[in-house]
Structure 1
Amino acid sequence: MPAPGAGAPAAALRPLAERAQAPATLVAPADAGGLSWRELGQDDVAALGGLVQRIEDADDPPYRTSPDEVAEYYDASHYWSAMGGWDADGTLRAFGFVRIQRGDLTVLRAFCSGGVDPAWRHHGVGGALIDWQVGRARQMFVETGVEAPARIVVHVDEGMDAMARLLTERGFAPRRWYMEMRRDLSRPIPEVTLDTHLSVVPWTAELDDAVRRAHNKAFGEQWDAQPHTAETWQQGRTHFVPSWSFVALDRSTDRAQVAGYLISGRYEQDWPALGWTEGYTEMIGVLPEWRGRHVASALLTRAMRAYADDGMEYAGLDVDTDNPTGAPLLFAHLGYERTRGSAMYTIEI
């Protein structure tokens, strides 16, 4: 039996204003860590970037958040709300964001992220921030005016056991699991032959909106998928690499059709933490009518060659372990190996 709100049509649910149980008022984590709390705005980007850097330097995750990525927390493709805790010297020591993508229609998703300065941990700050985020997410669901199932989402990297415990104590449960994979580009890259009329071409700006529409169709039936608008499709492209991105076209009719696509990013700030250089596959999709025709393999191997030509040591990507298209098996067949994992924890509303 699905969790409340999970998979249920909006018409079968009580009004979101009832289900969300949004608090009438929501106060900042007043006593947590002796910090002074206020809402974060775009004027706080530099302070936020410094805090994120201190957190990542201490925790040493296999990635680093660039200043441009910090600025993207505030992008206009999401409804967002943020809270920060400042010490007596005016240094930001803790933060929490809640973000809901404006294009969400059939499931509202409140993505929660945040962190606590290593020097301010073990004082209840993390738990207080999560409590604030959950309450704020419930309020924001109602504020959208959209009637739909809703979920509060936190992604937890492998090994973050303390965070997992905090979430579980507050009613979160793990719903999906993901794995990062890499493929050694020093190994031979296989040749993939496509059917007549199918070809892989470089990404161009002229093809981009057709790729967006293809993405919405390719992932429309998958768990947690929401359509991208023209505006949301353009967000989060700070590290997008056009020369590493490709489109599979079917020219069997007068008008070429997008059969599949692969979008890549270059995250140089991650490489020292990873211990290797890589081209990263952000998105790969094949539309249903072209599946089983080697389109994904052709896209992946074309990208591998582009990464290798630019001196990358590995090709990287991540995948939902329950992907219904069998993607994990395909990646393994092409030589990708698991490097680490993560889980999506949610409260379903």
Structure 2
Amino acid sequence: MSWPEGIVARPIDMGDAQAWADLLAAREKVDQEGEIYGAEDLIEELDDSRLDPAHDTIGLWADGQMVGYGMVRISETVVDVDRVHTEGTIHPEWRRRGLGTTLMCWLIHRAGELHAAKHPDAVGEVSNGTISTNTGANQLLRSFGFEEARYFIDMKRSLDQPVPDAAPADGFRLQVYGPELDEALRLTHNEVFLDHWGFTPRSVQSWKARHAGSRSFRGGSSYLVLDGETIAAYVLCYEWEADTALTGIRELYIGQVGTRRQYRGRGLARAALAKVLTEAAQAGYQRAGLGVDADNPTGALGLYESLGFTVHSKWITYRLPL
């Protein structure tokens, strides 16, 4: 890959975490995506079983400053399509110099290599997403032939609003997350989300890295609905300290909401969400946030709206066949 003069391109390592965080902070000031990470969060990103940092990441440097990055992740398993996830950005002060185009070429090329190496017998596509208001990113993706594949909605709710009453039905009980339930929860999550677009089952390693073992995970704010010893529904929550430091707003992010198929339609997720929101307000959180697939098959969007969440932004996931 030929990079513009003055640009040094190399893989990202742990020692680059603060420079990477500075790049993302500069992006946030312009793009207003609400995606804010500290150096510790990014170190976790590199420690991902789906990622080989030496080959699947690239940092772009100019005079000792990281001015761009790219990352490619391959799914551990394939359900329908091998969607190779790509991401990246260019520092706002370095845009419109051809860096974004060259970076996208690198991402597509690496995605193709990973697909051929890991899941060659499956249908493959490059996946990339951006907030709908980022005109430059949307135009760049379309110029490479990417097509819109799915829409996701980011929702927010102030926690100074009253929370509707929603107790679980008789026979069910609410319980705060505990590590003794972690493996049962992983298996439940894999079952619940199997009919959701783009989902691939979580291995023990990826579950720990992305969920219960993440530094952002807040087990004390996460609740499960139990039927005896069976997990019927659950709400898992996260907090990004870097986000609070930058915005001054302490937000509890609701990352996963699920109900087993045989328990759907009984208001169990609603009861767990109401408990989470009530406890979050008492714990000093000022806002709750979540993301939802606009075409979610379980009607989640209506549930969140009924609990006071409103649309904050829209995200577009793009696809490019390999």
User: How many Å separate the matches in 2 of 1:46 and 1:269?
Assistant: 12
Judging changes above 3 Å, is the alpha-carbon distance between structure 1 residues 242 and 318 closer, same or farther for their aligned structure 2 residues?
Answer: same
User: How many Å separate the matches in 2 of 1:225 and 1:323?
Assistant: 12
* Alignment-derived partner of residue 82 in structure 1: 57
* Alignment-derived partner of residue 194 in structure 2: 220
Choose which of 181, 205, 208 in structure 2 pairs with 1:207. Answer: 181
* Alignment-derived partner of residue 171 in structure 1: 145
Q: Which letter maps to 1:55?
A: R
State how 1:249-288 maps to structure 2 within 5 Å.
249-251=226-228, 256-271=229-244, 276-288=249-261
Deviation at 1:272, TM superposition (A): 5.8
State how 1:90-169 maps to structure 2 within 5 Å.
90-104=64-78, 106-145=80-119, 147-169=121-143
Q: Which letter maps to 2:225?
A: A
* Alignment-derived partner of residue 329 in structure 1: 302
Q: Which letter maps to 1:238?
A: R
State how 1:240-319 maps to structure 2 within 5 Å.
240-251=217-228, 256-271=229-244, 276-319=249-292
User: How many Å separate the matches in 1 of 2:245 and 2:19?
Assistant: 23
User: How many Å separate the matches in 1 of 2:251 and 2:22?
Assistant: 26
User: How many Å separate the matches in 2 of 1:291 and 1:131?
Assistant: 44
User: How many Å separate the matches in 1 of 2:198 and 2:24?
Assistant: 28
Decide which moves more: 148-157 or 120-129: 148-157
- Aligned 8 A contact 1:189 1:301 in 2: yes
Decide which moves more: 150-159 or 285-294: 150-159
Instruction: Work out the percentage of aligned pairs sharing the same amino acid.
Output: 28
User: How many Å separate the matches in 2 of 1:203 and 1:320?
Assistant: 25
Q: What are the superposed Cα offsets for residues 38-67 of structure 1, whole Å, 9 maximum, x if unpaired? A: 333344334323333333344443341111
User: How many Å separate the matches in 1 of 2:180 and 2:71?
Assistant: 34
Q: Which letter maps to 1:52?
A: L
Q: Which letter maps to 1:41?
A: D
- Aligned 8 A contact 1:33 1:125 in 2: no
In the superposition, the TM-score normalised over structure 1's length comes to 0.85
User: How many Å separate the matches in 2 of 1:204 and 1:337?
Assistant: 30
User: How many Å separate the matches in 2 of 1:202 and 1:273?
Assistant: 29
* Alignment-derived partner of residue 72 in structure 1: 44
User: How many Å separate the matches in 1 of 2:25 and 2:160?
Assistant: 32
Judging changes above 3 Å, is the alpha-carbon distance between structure 1 residues 189 and 58 closer, same or farther for their aligned structure 2 residues?
Answer: closer
State how 1:19-58 maps to structure 2 within 5 Å.
28=1, 30-32=2-4, 34-58=6-30
- Aligned 8 A contact 1:62 1:274 in 2: no
Q: Which letter maps to 2:287?
A: Y
Decide which moves more: 124-133 or 152-161: 152-161
CA RMSD of aligned residues (A): 1.9
Q: Which letter maps to 2:236?
A: I
Residues matched between the structures, number: 316
Judging changes above 3 Å, is the alpha-carbon distance between structure 1 residues 65 and 104 closer, same or farther for their aligned structure 2 residues?
Answer: farther
- Aligned 8 A contact 2:3 2:9 in 1: no
User: How many Å separate the matches in 1 of 2:277 and 2:12?
Assistant: 40
State how 1:182-193 maps to structure 2 within 5 Å.
182-193=156-167
Judging changes above 3 Å, is the alpha-carbon distance between structure 1 residues 313 and 76 closer, same or farther for their aligned structure 2 residues?
Answer: closer
Decide which moves more: 37-46 or 122-131: 37-46
Q: Tell me which structure has the larger Cα radius of gyration.
A: 1
Which structure 1 segments of 5+ residues have no match? 1-27
Deviation at 1:104, TM superposition (A): 4.3
Which structure 2 segments of 5+ residues have no match? none
Judging changes above 3 Å, is the alpha-carbon distance between structure 1 residues 331 and 105 closer, same or farther for their aligned structure 2 residues?
Answer: closer
